[in-house]
Structure 1
């Protein structure tokens, strides 16, 4: 891929990302009440997305062969407990990811 094409792809991705971040502020600027369906989706989608990510992360684990999913289950538990304790998405996901990388590269080789 040429440099111009790569730059164009990055530019389009950046504009689309910016547009999706700005759209809620333009649509729901505080003057109008937020529609009930949008409020419901704001409450229901985050746990559903996290559940899908957990399923996706363990879908290829071979439960019958060593280490029997131990690093995955341990990191899911650490991530969940840390999130319940600190209520910080970045911290819990970051620690869970770093712990998983450490475990699969050093402990569960």
Structure 2
């Protein structure tokens, strides 16, 4: 087992965090206070839905055909995420609760 020093652990956490923050700040630095083009506005409005659709397709592409129990667990979790998102309009909350709900179904039922 490799032993890491406190400095190495700090750098392993700090450097990716710094890169992430810089990448998130990049659009604000690039666009500043000037008007945002219609293309960027359209992408900002449509990309979140497109990404969620891709995630749903990826999640459901390998539904087992033989096990009714597993299919019901997947469908229940998808319905939970969709319903919660329609009610609360919070993506992080919807995905988090849906993941926990699915894990509870898989391990307790």
- TM-score when normalising by structure 1: 0.82
**Paired residue for 2:53, among 51, 54, 57?**
51
1:22 aligned partner: 25
Distance in 2 (CA, whole Å) between partners of 1:5 and 1:59 is 40
* Per-residue Cα deviation, 1:22-49 (whole angstroms, up to 9, x for no partner): 112212222x110222111111110111
- TM-score when normalising by structure 2: 0.82
Aligned length: 106
1:71 aligned partner: 73
Gaps of 5+ in 2: none
* Per-residue Cα deviation, 1:46-79 (whole angstroms, up to 9, x for no partner): 0111011111212222022232511111111111
Distance in 1 (CA, whole Å) between partners of 2:3 and 2:48 is 38
Distance in 1 (CA, whole Å) between partners of 2:70 and 2:106 is 12
Distance in 2 (CA, whole Å) between partners of 1:55 and 1:90 is 18
Give the root-mean-square deviation of aligned CA atoms. Answer: 2.0
Gaps of 5+ in 1: none
